[in-house]
Every structure is written in structure tokens, then in C-alpha cells.
Chain A
Amino acid sequence: MSPVFYLVSAMTVAGALAAVLLKPLVHCALAVTVAFAGLAFLFLSLDAQFAGFAQILVYIGAVAILIVFAILLTKGSELPRDGVFSRSWLAGVVISAAVFAALGWAILRSAWTLPHETAVPAVTVHDIGVALVDRYVLPLEIVALLLTAATIGAVIVAMHEKEGVK
């Protein structure tokens, strides 16, 4: 593996850890943006240019901004007095450590049977566009409908309640 992979992986994991562990919510939002950027670089290092740039546009451009908006609208920038971790934090840590141990064991046990194609896939954005309107046209339409419904639904859910109406 190249040093670039180790560098980008370290950046991704450090960003994700910081997002989970830091106390001020705004710092968490910044750290998770670093993790999203690291994942986008990992996509690019896997020769998936389209997915990498879609990741940058959607996650760093939209989701991170949305998270910052939600933090500021809910006064989340103020630190709570009774700590940021839940009462049952130990169980959560144990469960996620167990999940990582199981996944890591499965990956390491099957590492030598995993497929390993060395040839760089000759796939251009043109091919992806043709596939989207040809073979994957029905999923594309469903995702378009889902995005429309989700956006309208989010606006309706977050819309200001009328006085006296609950």
C-alpha cells in the first residue's frame, strides 16, 4: 500500500474519532467534514472519480452545512452542564468494539480469498451517465422522487407551528 493510503486513512479515522469525542458541537461538525473529505480522497484513490467528487459535493457541500445550520438553530453550541456522553456510554463502547472485532476478524480471515484485480477500471463519467439513463433509469427516477418527497417532508416537519395548534 502506498504512503498516500496510510496518510488519508489516518486523516479519515482521526476526523471520525474527533467528531465522536470532541465536546463542542461545532468542533464535531468541522471534524466530521475532515472525515468526509478523507473518505472522498479514498474514493479518488480507488479510481472512482465520479463518486469521489459526488462525495465532496454532497457531503462537504451540503450535509456539513446542514449539520452546522441544525447546531446553530438548536443552540447546540452551548455545552450541556451534565456531560456530553450518555449514561449508557460503556455499553455503547463495548458494542462498537465488538462490532469492529467481528468485522476485523472476518476481513483478516478472508484476506487471501478476496478478489484482487490489478487493472485500473476503464470507466469514464460518460459511461456512468449512459448507464444511469439506460440500465439504471428506474432507480434514478425513484431516487428523484425520494429526494423531492424528503425535501418537502423536511420543510413541512421543521415548519413553524401555528400558535395554539399542537
Chain B
Amino acid sequence: MTPLASYLLVAALVFAIGLAGALVRRNAILVLIGIELMLNAANLNFIAFWRYGPHPEALTGMMFAIFSIAVAAAEAAVGLGLVISIYRHAQTTDLDKMNRMKG
């Protein structure tokens, strides 16, 4: 197996684990952790294609990964702020118990 395929397989595995975490856990913070894992797996793909693809000096994959890290950080800040706000309102972070749109 080529090195690129090995890295892509690891990224696919981390993505699937993150997706499972976002889908099966009840706690909203764990769902955010799963989303972060999925974003990281995508970053690994960008970096792996940048390393083994032609023209690495154009820096496209690298730049996409760097911007993606910055956007993921902003997403984590807003997401955890929302979780804290909902917790203060409903006294729970259990997503199965948050089943009404009315406040």
C-alpha cells in the first residue's frame, strides 16, 4: 500500500469514529468533540495530499488545513458557548431531553 493510502485510511477511521461519537452520545459536549475529530480527519487528508501530490510549493493543501484549523477553533468557541447557554436555561446537556423548541 502506498503511504498516501495509509494516511487516508487512518483519516477515514478517525472520521468514522468522530461521526459515531457525534451520533451515539447523549451529551452535547461529546457531540462537539466528535465534530472536532471529523474536522481533524479532513485536515489530515489535506496535509497528506499536499505532501504526496504534485506541486507542494503551491501550498494549497497546507493553506486549506491552516484555515480549517482557524475555522474549527471559532466553531469550538461558539459551540461550547451555546452548550453553556442551553445548560443555564434547561439545567441539562442531555440531547435526548432537549426535545422542545419552546423555551
A residues apposed to B, CB below 8 Å: 1, 5, 9, 12-13, 16-17, 19-20, 25, 28-29, 32, 35-36, 39, 42-43, 46-48, 50-51, 54-55, 58-59, 62-63, 66-67, 69-71, 73-76, 80, 83-89, 91-93, 95-97, 99-100, 103-104, 107-108, 111-112, 114-117, 121-123, 127-128, 131-132, 136, 139, 143, 146-147, 150-151, 153-155, 157-158, 160-161, 166
Contact = CB atoms under 8 A, between A and B. Distances in A.
B1 interface: yes
Contacts of B49: 115
Contact of A112 (B2, B6, B52, B93): B2
A125 B97 CA distance: 48
Contacts of A91: 23
Most A CB contacts (10 A, CB to CB) among B15, B57, B67, B77 go to B77
Contact of A63 (B26, B36, B83, B96): B36
Interface string B1-19: 1111111111011111111
B32 to A, nearest CB: 7
25 contacts: A16-B18, A19-B37, A20-B17, A28-B33, A36-B40, A42-B44, A46-B51, A48-B50, A48-B62, A50-B62, A51-B43, A51-B62, A51-B65, A59-B36, A62-B73, A66-B80, A67-B80, A74-B84, A75-B87, A86-B24, A103-B15, A111-B2, A116-B3, A123-B57, A154-B80
